[in-house]
Structure 1
Amino acid sequence: MNRILALLCSPRPDGVSDNLARLFAEGAVEAGAGVRLEPLRRYAIAPCIGCGACSRPPHNCVLAKNGDQAEELFSLLQAAPLVLLAAPVYFYALPARFKAFIDRGQRFWAARSQADAAKGGESLLPPKPVLAALAAGRPRGGQLFNGALLTLKYFLAPQNARIQDTRLLRGLDKPEDLWARPAVCDALRAWGRHWGERVTARAKDGRVE
Structure 2
Amino acid sequence: MNEVAPYAVGDFTSPAIFSCSPRSGGNSDNAAEFFREGVLRAGGRGQLFYLRDFAIHPCLGCMRCEQDPRGECFLVARDQSSPLFQALLSAPMLFIAAPIYFYHLPSQFKAWIDRSQSYYLRWERGDALLKGLPPRSAVINLVAGRRQGERLFEGALLTLKYFLATFNFTIQEHHAFRGIDASEDLRMHSQAGEELIAAGREAWVNLVKQNSV
Task: Give the structure-1-normalised TM-score.
Answer: 0.89
RMSD, aligned CA? 1.8
In the alignment, structure 1 residue 65 sits paired with structure 2 residue 77: yes
Distance 1:61 1:78 in 2: 16
Amino acid at match of 2:121: A
Distance of 1:193 and 1:100 partners within structure 2: 30
Q: Deviations over 1:134-186 (max 9, x none)?
A: 11111111100011011111111122222111111111002332232232211
- Specify the alignment match of 2:8 in structure 1: none
Matched, 1:2 2:13: yes
Structure 1 counterpart of 2:28: 17
The structure 1 residue matched to 2:163, chosen from 152, 155, 166, is 155
Matched, 1:53 2:64: yes
Aligned partner of 1:75 in structure 2 is: 86
**Which residue is 2:119 aligned to?**
108
Amino acid in the other structure paired with 1:2? T
Q: Deviations over 1:73-123 (max 9, x none)?
A: 10012211111011001001101110110001001111111129xx9xx92
Deviation for aligned residue 1:70: 1.1
Unaligned runs of 5+ in 1: none
Instruction: Could you list the structure 1 runs, at least 4 aligned residues long, displaced by more than 4 angstroms after superposition.
Output: none
Identity of aligned residues (%): 42
Unaligned segments of structure 2, at least 5 residues: 1-11
For each residue in 1:6-49, what CA deviation from the matched residue of structure 2 results, as whole angstroms up to 9, or x when unmatched? 01100001111110111111111101111111101111111100
Q: 1:123 aligns with which of 126, 131, 151?
A: 131
Find out whether 1:202 has 2:213 as its counterpart. no
How far apart in 1 are the matches of 2:191 and 2:137? 26
Q: Displacement of 1:124 after TM fit?
A: 4.3
Structure 2 partner of 1:191 = 199
Cross-structure match for 2:98? 87
Q: For the Cα contact (< 8 Å) 1:85–1:132, is it kept in 2?
A: yes
CA distance in structure 2 between the partners assigned to 1:51 and 1:128 by the alignment: 31
Q: How many residues are aligned here? A: 200
User: 2:26–2:184: 8 Å Cα contact kept in structure 1?
Assistant: no
Distance 1:7 1:110 in 2: 24
Amino acid of the structure 2 residue aligned with 1:114: R
**Residue aligned with 1:163, SS:** strand
Asked whether the equivalents of residues 115 and 124 of structure 1 are also in contact (C-alpha less than 8 Å), the reply is no
In 2, the alpha carbon distance for the partners of 1:174 and 1:26 equals 22
- Segment drifting more, 172-181 vs 28-37: 172-181
Residue 189 of structure 1 and its aligned partner are, at CA, apart by 1.2
Alpha-carbon distance in structure 1 between the residues aligned to 2:211 and 2:126: 29
- Mapped to 2, the partners of 1:204 and 1:53 lie a distance apart of 42
TM-score, normalised with respect to structure 2: 0.88
